[in-house]
Structure 1
């Protein structure tokens, strides 16, 4: 099994004791430390790091090329990179950073790896795409006329929109995979409120509350990652996709995420932005 994570906290993936584990991210120092820690905790020396900057479409494509040259299977892809409530700024490709990194980076990475995942999965043992969203998506709005927040930028609104987009993306991806009869499933994971350094850009009062009461309100990184681990390995989700999972249980996402037309519209726009072919018309024709 190959488990591919894009940034995030890694130490909790010690459950994969006999698996090949590939960590992808843009922080070489942290990733190498994670590799060392996982190897020590699990006695698994089949752990590797490859550089991938999800804020750069070029870097994503280079990463995928490097990965595919290894000619190894990919059974689980965990999309878990992100920024939160950062000041208004752009990725290397000119996208608003929340939308470009949190959403489009994962969109392109997943699509470029799908052929490998389809080859790796099989009936009764599907490969799995797990995308980490957030409860923030419940208060988000998707502005299809201004996805980059050019007219009015709000750090919180931009972050929430990126998390909403990930849910819509996952549901449409699952519909495509099911229609194609692919041995791959796609689900969304909500880790809950987790005590990480993502909060460094939030209002100082929130940072103070986090510092004082994190033991009460916030999950530890290991606790926050458990639903991702569960979704990656549980037999209960074999062959099942299109689910929103919180605390290892299926729950309902925001009502608008089930809008098939909105799912399709966002997918088509995302294909245009990332320069890939939209297979939706051919998949659902007739």
Structure 2
């Protein structure tokens, strides 16, 4: 019995590090995607979660450069305000920080309420913030942390902002939802009857499962929006292995080497942000189905579960129930 439990715990660990090694090799032998010159985006409003550092910061910086009114939604107020000050030194376009803790449904609801009271449009929502391999714990609402922050927090945020996204989009100028995913979804598993279970907890499995859930949500959302004819699209982006603080909870042997390896072999945050910005801003994607899964500037195939309409619908309905949404 003990050996079975140990095997169930270690399997996702080895799977994830093996996958990471393969992704790193692929990055080393391929040319990083370079963002084409984007047109000005004056008048547009964007929300970027986790925009105070890493990939999110680079997304905010580039959007501000193009004239977008960007709102950073983040948990760390000091970090977010510092990011705003740095960007304001270069660009005068409106950018600001608003407190948002994705581990708290109350915080998410308060963020949305505060945003809507201002009467602004919302043209771009970048669901970027996330946690990876954090120790076992629960969110304010009792959800496993990876599932609660990476998936449910962004699900709730997107759901509550959907009416504003719909009203802000129009034919030829769709509003866009960009979900930052990961190749880790390829080894994730979704059990509808145990979405929030911490039995035989593995941070590695929990992270992979949350990224698969995020991808299923992104795909189902896009299909529903297209089916109902709303001027909003949804896609998922894998930025690759990027030198950010996300990797600070790696297994100790890897963590000791990570900072050195990352500087030498990982993408820079700006390189990781390129495909995110492309899917959020590119006029080349306007007028076609903008959904799907993107990596290094191209659409990529995903795993079989992401094509299962029953699984996507079941996850969607279960998420609504868990969050107390109609």
CA contact under 8 A between 1:95 and 1:148: conserved in structure 2? yes
Out of 225, 228, 232, the position equivalent to 1:184 is 232
The aligned counterpart of 2:97 is: 49
Aligned counterparts, 1:1-286, within 5 A? 1-8=44-51, 9=53, 10-12=56-58, 13-16=60-63, 17=65, 18-41=67-90, 43-239=91-287, 240-277=289-326
How far 1:63 sits from its partner (Å)?
0.6
- Aligned counterparts of 1:94 and 1:29: Cα–Cα separation in 2: 26
Q: Which moved more, 1:163-172 or 1:190-199?
A: 190-199
**Where in structure 2 are there 5+ consecutive unaligned residues?**
1-43
* Root mean square deviation, CA, Å: 1.2
* 1:165-195 Cα deviation digits (max 9, x unpaired): 0000011101110111100000001010011
SS of the aligned residue for 2:193 comes to coil
* 1:240-259 Cα deviation digits (max 9, x unpaired): 23210001110011121111
Q: Which moved more, 1:32-41 or 1:64-73?
A: 32-41
CA contact under 8 A between 1:11 and 1:38: conserved in structure 2? no
How far 1:276 sits from its partner (Å)?
1.1
SS of the aligned residue for 1:210 comes to helix
- Aligned counterparts of 2:75 and 2:147: Cα–Cα separation in 1: 17
How far 1:84 sits from its partner (Å)?
0.5
How far 1:139 sits from its partner (Å)?
1.1
- Aligned counterparts of 2:182 and 2:197: Cα–Cα separation in 1: 20
How far 1:215 sits from its partner (Å)?
2.9
- Aligned counterparts of 1:61 and 1:184: Cα–Cα separation in 2: 21
CA contact under 8 A between 1:84 and 1:201: conserved in structure 2? yes
How far 1:208 sits from its partner (Å)?
2.2
* 1:17-69 Cα deviation digits (max 9, x unpaired): 2121111111101111111122223x224011111111000110111000000
* 1:207-260 Cα deviation digits (max 9, x unpaired): 123122213331111111111111111112214232100011100111211111
How far 1:95 sits from its partner (Å)?
0.3
Q: Which moved more, 1:227-236 or 1:102-111?
A: 227-236
CA contact under 8 A between 2:68 and 2:93: conserved in structure 1? no
SS of the aligned residue for 2:267 comes to coil
SS of the aligned residue for 2:192 comes to coil
- Aligned counterparts of 1:133 and 1:44: Cα–Cα separation in 2: 31
- Aligned counterparts of 1:243 and 1:40: Cα–Cα separation in 2: 36
CA contact under 8 A between 1:187 and 1:241: conserved in structure 2? yes
Number of aligned residue pairs: give it.
276
- Aligned counterparts of 2:217 and 2:111: Cα–Cα separation in 1: 21
- Aligned counterparts of 1:262 and 1:218: Cα–Cα separation in 2: 33
* 1:136-171 Cα deviation digits (max 9, x unpaired): 011111122222232221000000000000000011
TM-score (norm 2): 0.82
- Aligned counterparts of 2:148 and 2:57: Cα–Cα separation in 1: 26
CA contact under 8 A between 2:293 and 2:300: conserved in structure 1? yes
**Where in structure 1 are there 5+ consecutive unaligned residues?**
278-286
